[in-house]
Amino acid sequence: MSKRMNPRAAHLRRALAQEAARIMSEQGIDDYGLAKRKAAERFGATDIGVLPKNTEIEEALAVHQRLFKADTHKNTLSRLRETALRAMRLLDRFQPRLVGPVLSGTASAHSEIQLHVFADGAEAVVLHLMERGIPYRMSERRLRYEPDRLVTYPVVQFVAGHTQIDAVIFPVDGIRQSPASPVDGRPMRRADAAELESLLATTEADTRW
């Protein structure tokens, strides 16, 4: 049986989650661990036991956006998703999938658009961009599958509109298994262009009402 947290510690934990959410929203940070550390520093919290889970911060982030950015958040999210859709159409031959805050709906105006693409090698994606005259940068990202298995993948970064696109390049069969989400550790949710179009249509309908 888990040990019940005393009311003071529980209150501090909620406050840390809210502060981490505020930092993520206002400073454009998508790294839960970094936001958590910044919040702990501000509150002088040194007990690891009171640090909130990433899922608690995500919930607090959704509340923060509803309370403090209700007028702008839907527009920001729609703009990011529209940009993501254009980038996915550009990379259509690589079966792109949208992941991360733009998909979950917790993205801020500072958020990058995160895609997963699938190819026989990074060279195919790079050549595709070069043929279209699109400047890019290469990077790498380590993604977790099990607690003890991290895999490093190439990432191609480019700009669409005013937003950075980060496309992680998986092998073609990488579409079968999604890496773990940094929020809850479960397989990362992926959405194809058709699902994203449906999300955009729903958002537009809600806005009209």
Kindly tell me the sign of the dihedral angle through the C-alpha atoms of 107, 155, 177, 94.
positive
User: Of 68, 98, 120, which residue sits at a domain end?
Assistant: 68
Angle between helices 193-208 and 70-90 (to 10 degrees): 150
Do 85 and 117 sit in the same domain of this protein? yes
Angle between helices 54-68 and 7-27 (to 10 degrees): 60
User: Of 68, 83, 106, which residue sits at a domain end?
Assistant: 68
Is residue 2 scored above 60 in pLDDT? no
On whether residue 1 sits in a domain, the answer given is no
Contact between 156 and 125 under an 8 Å Cβ cutoff? The reply is yes
Q: Domains in the chain: how many in total?
A: 2
Do 78 and 64 sit in the same domain of this protein? no
Q: What is the pLDDT of residues 67-103, one digit of tens each?
A: 776 668 888 899 999 999 999 999 999 999 999 999 9
Query: Which of 129, 108, 80 is closest to 22 using CA atoms?
Result: 108
On whether residue 145 sits in a domain, the answer given is yes
On whether residue 113 sits in a domain, the answer given is yes
> Residue 83 sits in which domain range?
71-208
Q: How confident is the model at residue 205 (pLDDT cuts 50, 70, 90)?
A: low
Do 106 and 166 sit in the same domain of this protein? yes
Do 104 and 130 sit in the same domain of this protein? yes
CATH code assigned at 96: 3.30.460
Do 107 and 18 sit in the same domain of this protein? no
Contact between 16 and 35 under an 8 Å Cβ cutoff? The reply is no
Do 109 and 37 sit in the same domain of this protein? no
Q: Whole-angstrom Cα distance, residue 16 to residue 64? A: 13
Do 34 and 129 sit in the same domain of this protein? no
Q: What is the pLDDT of residues 103-147, one digit of tens each?
A: 998 888 888 999 999 999 999 999 999 999 999 999 999 999 988
Do 47 and 125 sit in the same domain of this protein? no
Q: Whole-angstrom Cα distance, residue 21 to residue 45? A: 16
Residue 116, amino acid: H
Give the pLDDT score at 1: 37
On whether residue 58 sits in a domain, the answer given is yes
User: Of 68, 84, 112, which residue sits at a domain end?
Assistant: 68
- C-alpha torsion angle, residues 184, 196, 134, 171 (rounded to 10): 50
Do 57 and 159 sit in the same domain of this protein? no
On whether residue 2 sits in a domain, the answer given is no
